[in-house]
Structure 1
Amino acid sequence: MGQPRGGPPPERQINLSNIRTGALARRAPQSQPDQKDTPDEPFAFQAREFLRKMLIGKEVCFTVEVKTALGREYGMVYLGRDTTGENIAESLVNEGLATVRREGIRGNNPDQARLCDLEDQAKASKKGMWTEGGGTNTVRDLKYIIENPRNFVDSMHQKPVNAVIEHVRDGSVVRALLLPDYYLVTVMLSGVKCPTFKREADGTESPEPFAAEAKFFTESRLLQRDVQIILESCPNQVILGTVLHPNGNITELLLKEGFARCVDWSMAVYTQGAEKLRAGEKSAKERKVRIWKDYVAPTANMDQKDRQFVAKVMQVVNADAVVVKLNSGEYKTIHLSSIRPPRIEGENKDKDKRFRPIYDIPYMFEAREFMRKKIIGKKVNVTVDYIRAATSSSETSTIPAFAERTCATVTIGGINIAEALVSKGFATVIRYRQDDDQRSSHYDELLAAEARAIKNGKGLHSKKEVPIHRVADISGETQKAKQFLPFLQRAGRSEAVVEYVFSGSRLKLYMPKETCLITFLLAGIECPRGSRNMPGGMQVAEPFSDEAMAFTKELVLQREVEVEVESMDKAGNFIGWLHIEGVNLSVALVENALSKVHFTAERSSYYKTLVSGEEASRLRKDKIWANYEEKKVEEVVHVMEEKERTANYRAVYVTEITDTMHFYTQDVETGRCVCTQLENLMETMRAEIAAQPPVEGSYAARRGDYCIANFSADGEWYRARVEKVQSPAKVHVFYIDYGNREIVPSTRLAVIPPAFSTRALAAQATEYAFAYIQVPQDEDARADVVDSLVRDIQNTQCLLNVEHSGVTCPHVTLQFADSKDDVGLSLVKEGMVMVDVRKEKHLQKMVTEYLNGQESAKTARLNIWRYGDFRDDDADEFGYKLKK
């Protein structure tokens, strides 16, 4: 073979003059079954191996002595660049691996005479074929057929096998001789495919583009080379493997140089790491070499910031689609690349109005729930893989129309959400045409995950009966709602999932415990209404209705919430309070100036918080209050009273102080204290329990349920609410009458008797936080403050005044009952906390008093101010650690 210039080089076959070697084995033609295979002649294979090891890959020089009429050339071949090199024919004869054709010898030819002398010497030395016995032991037992190729491949245990490449059919298919057992097998390279040679009807072969170049690339590196082959699989009698040469892996080299493309069906068996093959193909695509010369990337027109970004998941639309919020505030729908959600094949449910895909398609609900619990409301990493163009359907087409889709890989905490879905059997992987490059960048991992799910019988691949979700939708069903209302009222706080947000204050909830859907209206507020169709035409949306709906969506859509149902309207919609992670949604809307307080809130325990939040947003003139004008002053005295801070102290009994400096109290002046109604209720309840003790272990705790718990400190029963269930041995409960928490086994819990529920007597413990002071973030500093508060006010009667609302509870000032000294101000004066400066005008007098107390603590260098040479802005934002 010559030197390559712009393509595969020309080849010539040279037959060595004046010598003869044994013929190698030859298989009988498949078309002539009556003929038998021809075996090796003695020393034929050894002669071939002698030359192969000497010459393959080396430069040689040759001379042509005779050319026959058929074009066959005879001559001499020398190792090296000129005729001074080793004569190959002489080396064969000298080793006894060839005989001299003496019938054509001329006496005056010194080269021929030398061959005869070398043959005589080999005979005398009994070399090669001249050894005693004739060399019958040198004939190979060549095996052309493997009876059970699949078992044969499995028996290799994917360990490298020594081999010699005997023939290269194309760039990715070779014929190999496996050593030492002489199996002659065809091996297709795992995970790739090169352009091939198509056989035409007339018997000729026409190469695909770059087929000849790919064949030469493999041939020039592997033909008759010593290699190792990993036999990886044998589907459909085709052996798949990887050829390893000391200089590299031919599979990866073919991809990197643009001579091959990845093949999905055989990629899974590639043992050297499928990611290496994808990386090689990606490199060739980016450089647009050879078969990729016209390649256009699926995201070629996108900037890097559009291809990779971090976003917050706002909604799980389907098992393969989510709505995310970008840093710019824009919302974008992202489809998970290369997966297909559960679906019902061949059924048209559009005509059945009762058909609800989320509940009626097997595993659709499980897939959505998995996604919702995993990523809703969380930041995820999005890598766009491709943009699927919009499609349109015609009247004759059976393909539905789709809008343009952004398909991406979504990860959270290093977990590929699509891969997790597929591994649980909640989705399947889309199979593509070989030339379809629009697929996930982690397509191989998806295929492997699906294979595991199929093997383990997960989800869609399970042979068990599919799960059935019988969910009753009682939205707008007045009669059903009336029957259901007393149950929800008695339940207190119930768990729910927000399925849909119609407006800022109107939602659709899924009640998992009751397996039903309800329409829920937020109590106590009046939210701006959106546009809607009315009998007289389209009603225009009120200002900030869209903002209110967006706020509610971002806060609660598809989140787990708790609801307190108070009543229902005439249309069968339930009315009540919705809480998410301690935040009352009605209060949050009012505080963010997206809703007003409704007069029906007056009879609610949340009324003061709502009014306080409305007042603050009105003073800011924010959103719905932007054009609000204060009423004209008619009575100066009345106006002055409104601007002044209201000091309406009432007696409370402090029952618990938390590690975050919040505290719980019982109201004394209304008669709700430990020594009156609560004490009577506790005595009666315990007497009833003593008479009819609960069966141990019969209660199954569920988050949000009200129950009775046996307190570990005194062994008495108290009313409680389940906050979390880690396991039957670890149930987190909150004692609703005292504010303390405990982790107890479920065996110490029981169903609360109806006569002692929160309907009979409301929960007695109310949560508050200190106004005007900052909670130390440093654990040691905060612990010191909590210890001081426990010593001074826990289990004592104090005087409480609500100063302003907070996110989770009202902020108050507390006075000692005897001295009337302010508890929070005392902490400031002792240098244990810093002042939280409020901006409201009517609170400035109190803020000034607290700041004066802080200055006195600084001057005296007490506690956190004990170091000299400090400034206010030296306070570390993570705690009260000051620079020395």
Structure 2
Amino acid sequence: MTSPLGNKQETQSLSPPSFFLGIVKQVLAGDTIVIRDRPIDGPPPERIIVLSNISCGRVARRPTSGYPTGTPEDPFAWEAREFSRTLLIGKEVCYSVETELPSGRKYGCVYIGKSTNGENVALSLIEHGLAEVRKLSPTIADKNKMYQQLVTAQDHAKSLGKGRWSSNSAVTRNIIWSVEDTRSFFEKYKNQPLRAVVESVRDGCSVQVFILPESLSEKPNTFVYLTVTMTGIKSPSTRYENGKLVAEPWGLDAQFFTESRLLQRDVTILLESIFNQNFVGSILHPNGNIAELLLRQGLARCIDWYLNLVSIPGAAEAYKAAEKFAKEKRMRLWENYQPTQAMEVHVDSVKTIVPGKVFNGFICEVGNGDNVSIKCSDGVHKLFLSSIRAPRPQIGNKEEENTVQRDRIRPLYDIPYMFEAREILRQFVGKHVTAQVDYIQPKTSNTVDERVCATVRADDVNLALLLVSKGLASVIRYRNSSDPRTVYYSELLAAEEDAQSKGFGMYCKQDPPIHRVADLTGNVAKSRQFLSFLQRTERLDGVVEFVFSASRYRIYIPRETCIITLLLGGIQCPRRGRIGPDGITLPDMPFSNEAYTFAKELCMQRNVEVKVETIDRVGNFVGWLFLDIPSTGQNNEPDTNKPLNKKKKKKTTDITSVRQKANLSLLLISHGFGTVHRAPATERSPYYHDMIKAEEDAKINQCGLWSSDQFVKEWEAEVQNNSDPTALNGAEDGNPISLTGFSEYLDDLSELQINENGDTTNENNGGTTKQLSWKPAQITGISKPASGSQGLRFFAQHLSDACTLVKISQTLNSHSFPPFPPEYYPKKGSICIACFSLDNCWYRARVIRSSPKSVAVQFIDFGNEEVIDAAEYSSRLSPLPASPLLQLPPQVKEYRLAFVQLPPDSTDRAFAERAFCNLVENKEVRLAIQYESVPCGNETVKPVPAVTLLLPVADINTSGSSVCSNDVDISESLLSNGLVCVEPIQPQFLKRLPRQLLHKYLDAQALAKKERKNIWQYGDFRADVDQL
């Protein structure tokens, strides 16, 4: 006998037949057998032999792309396959190759044993009625003695009614090739012993099996086809790429090891988990546990996060011991293994963040369901919870997707169950935790920076496990078993399965909770609608969602389901650094960051109480914030040294020890992080005297701001001038907040009952008139804010800056700029250069609006705006190169007409603006500032300087900055024509203004009103405006 390794010649007929020895690897059908040689330095070659002269029928095959319904099964084909499998699998046989077709198909005889004296497999199949003899021509049949034996055996089987010759020959299997509901199937048969036959081996630790009918409570004769991965281990993979077999090192050896012991053997399956819709379980063979053998041979490694799922008692410890044995022997996968010295990493010993680093601190902020910020001795660290994912948005169709993209996205409230997940984590704000870094996730296209992922524990509570167990987070499914993850990954999977089975959180079959929250930030009209609802309750419960500064907070009010911006009343705090209107970064004021940190640690994401007093001109609410008094020197940690057998005292309630809420304004003042705002509204509040006392104490103790001598001097000078109506209340951002509002519209100054003799600067009283600085200027355009403006605003260039403007234009247009950089994206607020469409010249510009399709820019030296499409970026837009032009301030300034207010009707406003343009277009005017930083009426945009414009008459020759009595006052002209009205002014503010000018404007308005010109044609409209 010879080995098939040496027989490589393919012929159609081999006579006399050659006999070979081999081991049966697999039985594909009753008459088709896969035979391999003995292994020598790796997996051995194989040969498929079809038994000559008989046919057993085709066994069913699973559906493929070419056969969507699969291949049907012939009657008794499965019984024949099982007969041959039971008879031959794993046994040594003697076989011949009698005929080999051009297609490579080989026919021959197979005998059990090492010689032809053994049992003839084909003859046994015929005798049991599981095969049928093929018909041959009489000439060939008479010469073939084996064929005659087959025919005689078939006649005998027919006479006895065996197998396919019986009356029930039409019985076939019912096969479930793919389980549709894997979760239900798993829950039904979890940890139950299932008898199965291994059909194929994908790699060393993954097999495909047929679950036999006796183990299932399904229909009779039902077989279920499953893919099962061994629990707790991972072996090198083997896969096909472009029709070629690709294997990792030792992958083929691991596959052969499992094939030679399990392929087509009877095994017992214990389903223990589900991973990526594949079943995970233990595979038991009468001769032992194949997973332990793979580990012992160095053909697999333990997966720690997977190992805890093994349900066999003592198996996990046995796996670790087997892996340790292979490591010590340097077997296969561990041939280059070097034991490492365990080293504990502490935060104090390592400056950089690496896996294994331990943080100890308290949670100061939580994210939207999957991250927390921990304050430690070396700073604040943002950590993401390992191996979990926060709830995701569920977009059903394109129409809904477009709606989501169009509306304002608020993930915390819009994404189902994200708010509930955040609330679970918010319970731990301020609590001491321990976090150990598991891995660092590199930066991806969806993340701004790399993420430090860690396991965070508060006492015995694993935060990630808590979220998953409540159905408020999902466990990440990793593609590769080598991907880093938390050591508690198996517990997370088990908790997720439990939450799914119980219908918790995201797995609840009912509709998810909906949080319809009104975001009032920046919406003036809506904020005014909510004001009465917020004022009618003495104190409202709220949650601080964000801390802008020590005196500005974003707060969620559950009762009114709204989000507001709250400015603290009665206090002035130092401003933090910010970007100014000209794009220049303004520095931090002293102690601004200390005040911000103090307030954030006290308030961020804490439960507070809010008392709303009023609203400012931009829709921010002004009021008071109350929170729990922070503990001082009390130890809230459990006493671990306390004797366990000591009798506990009966707990009693002391009504005198109820903790009161602290006024945050008072706390900030007492620590020197703010000063009392001395205004009538503050003086009328019940907290004014307490704040004054706290301020005095902080001043005596030199706390915070009071430790600076320069600040003390400036504060004392400011207190002396305490009647400023534009003073700030809760002012950290420089925007004026008026708690008293503006007065009504007036037609006569006598209605205010102002003592004229008290005004020493009024010309009527014999005093000296305020000297105004008149400057020649040119109006370049009308300023039209998006909303909230009530004054007539415009842009003007001072003629004294004409030389600078010419130099800027020459510099920009005398150079050829580089092509538009592909990586350059014009962001809102950035300074660039843009080509104006009317003259194709380059000018400095600021991006005021940006979208994927276009950007809107404002030319900062002229004030006009233009929209540039994305297709024109390369020819009309470019970043401003580093040069003195980048530091040069804008050459155009925005002003408004003093004492003048535009009518509320849009048509009337357009007429007034058009008349203004006709008066000043292409003409030189004289401009003088009357007052600054005072809003016009109840406008909500940033105030600009209010000026008087004079237009020289055509027949009078004036030069320089002198003013002729015949010059036309633009404001008076508009008022006399009934195009605008006089703005309402506070009495306190009016005391400091030149009332001679205002007298003249009121007279012009009265004349237009009497003659019912333009806006006065239907009478006085201002009463309706007051009601609004």
**TM-score (ref. length: structure 1):** 0.48
